[in-house]
Structure 1
Amino acid sequence: MAGHKKTGLKPRRYLPTMTQDYSRISDTARSIDSIVLPKIISYIQGITPRIAGSNAETPFVIADYGAADGVNSSELFENIIIRIQSLNPSLRIKLVYIDIADEGPFKKFWPASRLAKLPNVEAEYIKRSFYEPVPQLKGKLNIGFSSTSLHWLDTQTVDSGFFQHPVDIQANQLPYKERQKFVEKWKRDWRVFFHICAAELVKGGALFLANLTDLGGDQWPASAGYDFIRDICNGLLREGRISKEESNAIFVPDYFATPDEMKALIEEDDRKLGYSLEYFDAMTVPCAYFTKWQDKLGDPQERSQLADTLAHVVRAWSKSSIGIGLSPANKDTIEEIYKRLRDKFYETPKGLPYQYCLLELVKSGNCVK
């Protein structure tokens, strides 16, 4: 990039990951499980003869795309496994966790988990982007699951300059015209993902996706957190605490597609990829933490706990991206950003609801090779 040559700084590589304590402050994200589980159980009931007649030595494979440390999907997966094994007690279950993060947190989670204690259950963690094929899954995947993950864009297929803006820090904040390059990037990435999954799924296999979405206006996931960080970073630029280049480079590389955008892309591609769209619905899940504290905001201590928690939630998914934007000599500024974020949540308490589109896709035919 010309900008990097001018400043002498190394090119930035956007590779967003969650903080290691992400699963401990994911109550709002896990709330969607109670809605997803009945859909998966209904699907399992529909393939009962296939499960009951399966060879016990051929594992029933379930993948979690964007798994982080595996904690968030653990209760959901336990309920799925119990249902499957009620139909075929000797059937082996293989759980495959896919994420770009280091496998260390997963290795801490798995041995002590309830899942690890279930009979005939094994697990594998694959450090890889879900926009890359997993050769060992090809033609073997029975159920693919992803929750609050597919809004992340594939940062490895564009130059780092793609994710820069002088004012805003996220694509959904941008005016319509400026946003369009991210819409097109999201479309390309999703087509890659669906093509990969079509090759990995067995015929009759299914994808269950809880995708974060933009319902219009200010109804997109955790928008208050993104907006507060944008305002804080613009303030730091005015104060001279960060440079113009750093301000431009502080950007969270995700995009929350609208329900119409999702449905149009799926309907355009599902036939040639061999999918059948079985379920599609949009909804809002209230912020678990704001719901807990909203009647206690008059108590300074309770208000402070809420502010700490909300800032912690935002930090979990934004820290790696903000850190990439800051120069090595200015890395300590990240603590100032989150201190100010906490103060903003205290001054103006706002919830972080998640807007979702739930999708069930079944592979009904042959995919394009």
Structure 2
Amino acid sequence: MTSAKQTFGVTGDYGDRCGRHGIISLEILKPEILDAVDTMPLRSQDQVFTIGDYGAADGSATMPLIRDIIERVRKRQGELPVQVVYEDQAANDFNTLFKRVHGLIPVPRTYLQDFKDVYVTASGASFFEAVVPPASADVILSFHAAHYLSKPVTKFQDSIHRYPNATPQESRLVAAQAAEDWETFLLHRAKELRSGGILVVGLAADDSQNQVTGIRHWAQQPEEDMLNMWRRMRDDGKITQEEFVNTNMDRCTKYLDECTAPFKGSKPAVTKHGLQLESAKLVREPCLARLAWRKRLDEDGVDDRETWAKTIGEHHRCWASWNFIRALSDQRSSDEKEALVDELFSRIEKKVADTHPDDYMSDHLITFIVARKV
């Protein structure tokens, strides 16, 4: 997750806690992505086919998809050299990324075990800037990253980001910055893609019109629980009001029309630079913790609420804990900060364990965008 101005953080077990969700969501979209790859112009044998993964974290979410893209390209074009460029913030855990790519961490299976003449590089640039040279990329992927903002624009007084309780003024400020950042992101990708190249983006989504039945927001209930338990810790005197207000998640889960807006209008800048929208859809991605709970219940007759709740807590702690730690006063020791975050997620897990998994809205709502450079 990348920003021009800030450092965002995920824990070192990202692939095990969060990356598996990314793989599931990409499986949903994979046929459409591979069909788009099949319609790309053929490249000459003296060219390199370049795949970018922007906001890559440890690379685990996209590795199966990149393997399938390489396979499709090789079937059409023979042994065309392939370059994979991973982009993330300079502080990203690239060490874990390369361990996964080179098979030192064996799950998921690395595409380097299946193909020769594949070259892997990484960039610590921001995706709000140019990452690769103009007209050099064939496929650019970005998942669960482009909803982050390039800079903070407000301090939420009774929320931690736009959903669920931002004021109208806070919402306007965040929406305006998100729109500017999204167009900046798209314009850079338009310049980087070759003619016929494709961009695939998956963003944490918000669905104010409830077009996807039964869920309004990405990971709706876990995010509500994080906010509500943090409020209770403030009210219990565990944290101060100042620390609560400092807990800003500089992100904006977008509505579908906010994602498609840069492609619309009389003369949109994105389309002027050759990037045309091919599809945009909301997808409800099933919660893996619930699937695992249901499988054990059906196969073994065990209603394991404890593991279910622990898995929910670990998954969201993986990506969110740094937001809470950085909000706490510098007068607190590192151990004290960690203990407060431990308490937060312990409270969340207890609440989750007391809720029937079928009644807990922990599915992920994702907007998928596919665009092509023409």
TM-score range, shorter-chain basis? Answer: 0.7 to 0.9
1:331 aligns with 2:337: yes
Partner of 1:167: 158
Shift of residue 178, structure 1, vs aligned partner: 2.9
Return the TM-score normalized by structure 1: 0.86
2-structure distance, mates of 1:138, 1:102: 27
Moved more, 333-342 or 189-198: 333-342
2-structure distance, mates of 1:138, 1:245: 45
Return the TM-score normalized by structure 2: 0.85
Alignment of 1:169-188 (within 5 A): 169-173=160-164, 174-188=166-180
The residue identity in structure 2 corresponding to 1:41 is L
Q: Pick one of 342, 363, 372 that aligns with 1:353.
A: 363
Q: Secondary structure at the match of 2:235?
A: helix
Q: Secondary structure at the match of 1:32?
A: helix
Partner of 2:112: 116
1:72 aligns with 2:61: yes
Partner of 1:313: 315
2-structure distance, mates of 1:310, 1:40: 29
Q: Pick one of 22, 27, 31 that aligns with 1:29.
A: 22
The residue identity in structure 1 corresponding to 2:27 is S
* Percent sequence identity over aligned pairs: 22
Name which structure has the greater RCO, CA cutoff 8 Å, separation 6+: 1
Alignment of 1:1-369 (within 5 A): 14-26=6-18, 27-47=20-40, 50-51=42-43, 54-55=44-45, 57-100=46-89, 101-112=92-103, 114-117=110-113, 118-134=115-131, 136-155=132-151, 158=152, 162-173=153-164, 174-216=166-208, 219-268=216-265, 269=268, 270-294=270-294, 296=297, 302-328=304-330, 329=332, 330-332=336-338, 333-348=340-355, 349=357, 350-364=360-374
- Residue 69 of structure 1 contacts residue 105 of structure 1 at CA under 8 Å; is this kept in 2? yes
Question: Against the structure 1 CA distance between its residues 242 and 300, is the aligned structure 2 distance closer, same or farther, given a 3 Å change threshold?
Answer: farther
- Residue 289 of structure 1 contacts residue 351 of structure 1 at CA under 8 Å; is this kept in 2? no
1-structure distance, mates of 2:361, 2:120: 35
Moved more, 90-99 or 175-184: 175-184
2-structure distance, mates of 1:16, 1:301: 36
- Residue 15 of structure 1 contacts residue 320 of structure 1 at CA under 8 Å; is this kept in 2? no
- Report the count of equivalent residues: 342
Moved more, 279-288 or 187-196: 279-288
2-structure distance, mates of 1:356, 1:233: 25
Moved more, 285-294 or 272-281: 285-294
Structure (1/2) with the larger helix percentage: 1
Shift of residue 283, structure 1, vs aligned partner: 2.3
